[in-house]
């Protein structure tokens, strides 16, 4: 859970609030059954085209100097989270997902 939430929060700080010193962020956690359901809400900039980034695997067959600096976050989020959904509503971003209690994280 720490990896996924860390990546999500990093994306909010870097991309939703690129030129702002403060903003709204809410995280709701509901441990229901075999999964933990999470809702992350902010009032920063919307996702480009209001769609989640694809999170494509990066080419790691390069020298250390040529490794990309970013691009791994959404790949990790997509690999570790289930039922990943995004919507922009009333000026806010809402990301919902679930994590298996005994699973990938």
Enumerate the domain spans of the chain: 2-100
DSSP-based three-state secondary structure for 43: coil
Closest CA to 86 of 19, 15, 3, 1: 15
pLDDT of amino acid 105: 46
Domain 2-100 has CATH 3.30.565.10: yes
Task: Say which residues have a Cβ less than 8 Å from residue 59's Cβ, sequence separation at least 6.
Answer: none
29: which strand partners? 38
pLDDT of amino acid 71: 63
**What is the pTM assigned to this prediction?**
0.81
| Kind and range of the H or E run holding 82 | strand 82-89
State the Cα–Cα distance between residues 56 and 31, nearest whole angstrom. Answer: 29
Q: Once rounded to an integer, what is the mean pLDDT over residues 25-40? A: 94
Q: Is the pLDDT of residue 57 over 80?
A: no
pLDDT of amino acid 101: 87
């Amino acid at each position: 859970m720490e990896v996924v939430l860390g990546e999500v929060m990093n994306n909010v700080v870097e991309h939703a609030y690129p030129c702002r010193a403060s903003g709204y962020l809410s995280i709701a956690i509901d441990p229901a059954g075999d999964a933990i359901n999470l809702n992350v809400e902010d009032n920063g900039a919307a996702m480009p085209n209001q769609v989640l980034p694809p999170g494509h695997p990066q080419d790691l067959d390069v020298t250390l100097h040529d490794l990309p600096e970013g691009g791994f976050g959404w790949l990790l989020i997509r690999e570790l989270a289930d039922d990943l959904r995004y919507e922009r509503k009333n000026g806010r971003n809402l990301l919902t997902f679930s994590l298996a209690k005994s699973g990938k994280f």
